[in-house]
Chains A and B, each alone.
Chain A
Amino acid sequence: QKEVEQNSGPLSVPEGAIASLNCTYSDRGSQSFFWYRQYSGKSPELIMFIYSNGDKEDGRFTAQLNKASQYVSLLIRDSQPSDSATYLCAARTNAGNMLTFGGGTRLMVKP
């Protein structure tokens, strides 16, 4: 079964700290990876995607991908209380247009 795994948390960090969210995937055919943020009671929204090994930065967010280890992470620098949400990792194979989601990690940023 193709799976994407995340620690459910909650991950609690103080305001201004770096939050590190991790994700592993089992399907080596996965080619692209996505991080979605979901506020409580709302729908998921895309934050970042990454295709290549290494780091990809966008503002306070950095996505990291290591295909050999089947590992994806999201770093949030200078965490703000407004970053408190559930972060969903998703993997997509090029064979189809389907995303497989992890169970999400709940992040709490404390003022």
Chain B
Amino acid sequence: DTAVSQTPKYLVTQMGNDKSIKCEQNLGHDTMYWYKQDSKKFLKIMFSYNNKELIINETVPNRFSPKSPDKAHLNLHINSLELGDSAVYFCASNPANTGELFFGEGSRLTVL
């Protein structure tokens, strides 16, 4: 019974394509995030949603568009993929006012 689940786990695609990653959490948390982890293990926040509303939008190209249909789901759509988008994308959630993030298993995106 996975708490934060994201799909797919692996994506391999060509430059210029569009792809989506889905995330769902069953923990009842109000806040969800997308983080990007590059090959050097740097984990950088991309977006934060609180109860379906965008709270944080770090400096991310507008080719990346998050969408939260409800507070349990936060999807990430990426247009016109570039080589530099290759990374592991983690979805996470947390209870209000805590720093304990619950991460999904990650989605490894490889752009060829």
Contacts and interface: CB of A to CB of B under 8 A. Distances in A.
Interface residues of A, number: 24
B41 A104 contact: yes
Interface string B72-112: 00000000000000000010001011011101111000000
Interface residues of B, number: 23
A101 B44 contact: yes
B15 to A, nearest CB: 25
**Interface majority SS (helix, strand, loop, mixed), chain A:** strand
Interface of B: 31, 35, 40-45, 48, 50, 55-56, 90, 94, 96-97, 99-101, 103-106
B97 A97 contact: yes
A35 B100 CA distance: 10
A103 B41 CA distance: 6
Residue of B56, B96, B97, B101 contacting most chain A CB atoms (<10 Å): B101
Given A98-B48, A99-B99, A104-B43, 17 more contacts: A8-B40, A32-B99, A36-B101, A38-B41, A42-B106, A43-B104, A43-B106, A44-B101, A44-B103, A88-B41, A96-B55, A97-B50, A98-B45, A99-B101, A101-B35, A101-B43, A103-B40
